Amino acid sequence: MEDIEICQCNSIMKSEIVKAIKEKGLKTVEEVQEATDAGTVCGSCIPDIEDILKEINE
Ligand code: FES
């Protein structure tokens, strides 16, 4: 899987978000925000976080 920076504000890579979702069983954007800090500044990466959650949890 290609690793890309999802959250530019906090420099969070896709791999970090995927890892947190898998290890902690995260289901919502709020949980990803708490676990990784992604999506907590401008919010523009939230749709991408939602896509990753769907990709992992479906
Ligand atoms: S890009 Fe993620 S909060 Fe701004």
Number of compact structural domains in the chain: 1
Task: State the Cα–Cα distance between residues 15 and 38, nearest whole angstrom.
Answer: 12
pTM for the complete prediction?
0.94
Q: How far apart are CA 27 and CA 46, in angstroms?
A: 13
Q: What is the pLDDT of residues 11-58, one digit of tens each?
A: 999 999 999 999 999 999 999 999 999 999 999 999 999 999 999 998
The neighbour count for residue 26, using CB atoms within 10 Å, is: 22
Query: What spacing in Å lies between the alpha carbon of 58 and ligand 1's midpoint?
Result: 24
What type of residue sits at position 36?
Answer: T
At residue 1, does pLDDT exceed 70?
A: no
The enclosing domain of 50 has a CATH number of 1.10.10.1100
Which residue among 17, 30, 45 has the greatest number of ligand 1 atoms within 8 angstroms of its CB, and so is best to mutate? 45
Q: Which domain holds residue 21?
A: 5-57
- For ligand 1, say whether the CB of 45 is within 6 Å of any of its atoms: yes
**7: pLDDT confidence band, cut at 50, 70 and 90?**
very high
